[in-house]
Amino acid sequence: MFLFKLHRPNDYIVGGGFFVKYSVLPTFLAWDVFGVRNGTQTLAELYERIRKYRGRKDDSELMNIGCIVLSNPFFFEEADWIPAPIDWKANIVQGKSYSTDSEIGRHLYDAVMERMQMNAVQNGVVQDADGIRYGTPQIVLPRMGQRAFRVVVGDAYQRRCAITGEKSLPVLDAAHIMSFADNGPNTVNNGLFMRNDFHALFDKGYVTVDSDYVVNVSRRLHEDYDNGREYYSYHGKKLFVLPEKRIEQPNADFLKWHNEHVYLG
């Protein structure tokens, strides 16, 4: 759990989210992905803000920006804001970790969970006589927003095109295997990082990837457009890049769905 605290003198915790990962992105990509959610109205203003915080004038120092990727963000009504823990020092600027094994950490965790439960009840979450059930803890792939999806999938594929190995970020994007419109989730194992042209062909069914991670290019590409020589050179080849973590690799069910419902054969 990752919590949001306001700046002094408003020493209150006002919400949070669930940590997915920390990623260092080129500033232009952070702007492309998050836009005004970076806290500025323009990319130029974002550069200026970073320059101010870092106390440097050299733009070469502004090439990268750290991004904390969260899922399931939540916010409290002002009446439910939680006072900062009693050991929170005025000179803390980069955050502080707490363990539920400590008295302060446990008190903070319980206060957050109490408010989350109240919010769940108000929003109509089903509960029983013992209160809301959160289930047995388990490791899961977090469902995240579209912007976070692009960052996390890109990191999983080392920011390279899964098919060609291309590393030029401006022409790379995260593609859903099972489309979002068809209830495909924003999870890493439902994503492929690929060049924009391959992304377009993948979405239109001219390219797919089978359960053995082999690329297939449809004969319809040539029939429909009398072209496609560059793309057919990848037909029958294994993906150039796969995520190192097995849990992040393309899910077989999602690949099967794309082959059966999208691919033109």
The label of the residue with tokens 């500033």 reads: 27
CA 248/CA 190 separation, integer angstroms: 8
Beta carbons within 8 Å of 121's beta carbon, 6+ residues apart: 127, 132
The token duo for 99 is 């363990």
End-to-end CA distance of the chain: 45
Counting as low any pLDDT under 50, the low residues of the chain are: 125-135
Give, in order, the Cα–Cα distances in Å from 87 to each of 90, 92, 115, 137, 220: 10, 10, 22, 29, 65
Q: Report residue 262 as tokens.
A: 């999208």
Kindly give, in sequence order, each residue whose CB lies less than 8 Å from that of residue 249, ignoring residues fewer than 6 positions away: 189, 213, 242, 243
Q: Tokens at residue 62, please?
A: 């502004």
Instruction: State residue 22's pLDDT score.
Output: 92
In 3D space, the residue among 152, 140, 172 whose CA is nearest the CA of residue 240 turns out to be: 172
- Does residue 22 contact residue 68 with C-beta atoms inside 8 Å? yes
Quote the pLDDT of residue 45: 93
- Residues, the chain: 265
pLDDT of 252 reads 97
CB 153 within 8 A of CB 192: yes
d(CA 103, CA 109): 10
What are the φ/ψ torsions at residue 143 (nearest 5 degrees)? -85, 130
Tokens of 149: 């999806």
Contact present, 162 and 194 (Cβ < 8 Å): yes
State the Cα–Cα distance between residues 89 and 10, nearest whole angstrom.
13
Contacts of 38 (CB under 8 A, 6+ apart): 30, 31, 46
64 phi/psi in degrees, rounded to 5: -125, 150
pLDDT at 70: 86
- Max CA distance (Å), the chain: 70
